[in-house]
């Protein structure tokens, strides 16, 4: 794959940070966003990518993000909508304010940012958009009303964008990871070597992008082979 200009949201930890590392190692130019100064600086220093403190759930910060990408890279070839939040609660106990904030992060922020990036991609008649969904967006689960619904939305939105953007040679891919061992959601201590790691998902994204431009994966799920093995 020839060198490209990446914008990766939520790139200061977890899957996003793993993807920043792989993209930089492959010779691509990367701007990534995050909300925490310490992790932004750490990933930027380690990789040479440009870290920008921005929240994709805030429209004005998305505008700033695209402006920075224009200034630093001259445009965007690959947009990875990775930033997301998590909220689980039982029906009958759901906090609708928390659910709305989750959708601002996982859905509306993704749409707003992509809405600003797509005109750049249309003008150059090429581009890749990768939306991080989840296997939670492929099936229902206990306590998953808010989070699973947001990831179902990501998958449906991806399919709409595919229908609109394929005539402009813009590929839109939905990646659906199963449980990944990160500190995301405040969960720690998940260090089973048989479960998925962030780098597994990052490698999947890079493999999808490496396909010849005439072909693309509309959607793919990633599972651990044997996550029940605790050894």
Does the structural domain 5-222 have CATH classification 3.30.420.40?
no
pLDDT at 22 over 70: yes
Instruction: State both tokens at 124.
Output: 């150059």
Assess whether pLDDT exceeds 50 at residue 189. Answer: no
**Catalytic-residue membership of 147:** yes
Q: From the candidates 147, 152, 161, 197, give the one annotated as an active-site residue.
A: 147
Q: How confident is the model at residue 227 (pLDDT cuts 50, 70, 90)?
A: confident
The chain-wide mean pLDDT, for the chain, equals 94
pLDDT at 214 over 90: yes
pLDDT digit string (tens) for 133-187? Answer: 999 999 989 999 999 999 999 999 999 999 999 999 999 999 999 989 865 545 5
Say what the pLDDT of residue 219 is: 97
Domain ranges of the chain: 5-222
Q: How far apart are CA 181 and CA 52, in angstroms?
A: 24
Of 192, 193, 199, the closest CA to residue 22 belongs to 199
Q: How far apart are CA 185 and CA 88, in angstroms?
A: 10
């Amino acid at each position: 794959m020839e060198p490209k200009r990446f914008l990766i949201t939520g790139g200061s930890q977890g899957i996003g940070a793993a993807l920043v590392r792989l993209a930089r190692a492959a010779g691509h130019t990367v701007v990534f966003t995050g909300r925490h100064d310490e992790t932004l600086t750490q990933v930027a220093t380690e990789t040479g990518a440009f870290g920008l403190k921005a929240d994709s759930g805030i429209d004005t910060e998305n505008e700033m993000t695209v402006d920075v990408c224009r200034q630093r890279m001259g445009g965007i070839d690959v947009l990875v909508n990775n930033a997301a939040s998590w909220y689980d609660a039982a029906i009958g106990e759901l906090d609708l304010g928390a659910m709305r904030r989750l959708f601002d992060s996982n859905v509306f922020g993704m749409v707003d940012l992509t809405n600003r990036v797509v005109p750049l991609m249309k003008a150059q008649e090429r581009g890749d958009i990768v939306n991080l969904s989840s296997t939670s967006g492929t099936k229902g689960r206990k306590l998953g009303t808010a989070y699973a619904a947001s990831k179902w939305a990501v998958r449906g939105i991806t399919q709409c964008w595919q229908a609109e953007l394929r005539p402009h040679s813009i590929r839109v891919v939905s990646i659906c990871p199963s449980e990944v061992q990160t500190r995301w959601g405040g969960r720690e201590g998940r260090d089973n070597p048989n479960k998925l790691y962030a780098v597994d998902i990052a490698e999947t994204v890079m493999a999808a992008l490496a396909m010849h431009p005439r072909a693309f994966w509309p959607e793919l799920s990633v599972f651990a082979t044997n996550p029940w093995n605790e050894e």
